[in-house]
Amino acid sequence: MKEYSLFWIKPDAFSPNNPRSEYDKLKKDLPENPYDFISYVISRLKDNDFEIIKEKEYKLDIETAERHYEEHRNTLSPILKERTFDTLVEYMASGNSYWIIFYWDNAVKRGREILVEIRDEYLVDRKKTRYNMTHAADSIESANREIMIHFPEITSKLNNNTIN
């Protein structure tokens, strides 16, 4: 089934100059220029036949970051075990994020698989890493919700995971 999904990258997450960096937990160095890492992620998506629909970079405000993670506010999901919701929101609102909408067969499932591959390629132990460097929607419902949050200019075109 062809569907839309969303991938984001926190370009400065592993910069040695970022005081919140997890740089010491990398298997290999990220490119010095974060846009080279973004290009790498986009090439991985394209190499897997995904069509890139829309991209943008921006700094989330606290309210947008809260809306993005609202479904996790009261859970004990792995993403929140070692930090509070507020800490995650503050981190996400600290600096730019790069957002990519992509489309193709089983985009959500395959996008998550690529996310795991990228994390495994770079991180010594991705389960112990405190902050995200990348994220991919984990369900069609999450993908739709996240696309509507981060790409409000296409919200009216999003209907049942179809952008007209």
Using only C-alpha atoms, the chain has a radius of gyration, in whole angstroms, of 15
Closest CA to 11 of 101, 138, 96: 96
Q: Cα(92)–Cα(137) distance, rounded to whole angstroms?
A: 15
Whether the per-residue pLDDT at 83 is higher than 50: the answer is yes
Q: Are 92 and 67 in contact (CB under 8 A)?
A: no
Whether the per-residue pLDDT at 114 is higher than 70: the answer is yes
Whether the per-residue pLDDT at 129 is higher than 60: the answer is no
Please give the pLDDT value at position 164. 44
Closest CA to 1 of 116, 140, 115: 140
Continuous H helices in 26-84 = 34-47, 62-69
Whether the per-residue pLDDT at 161 is higher than 80: the answer is no
Domains and CATH numbers, the chain: 2-163 (3.30.70.141)
Please give the pLDDT value at position 32. 72
Please give the pLDDT value at position 16. 59
Per-residue pLDDT tens over the stretch 33-69: 778 888 989 999 999 999 999 999 999 999 999 999 8
The bridge status of strand 96-105 relative to strand 2-9 is antiparallel
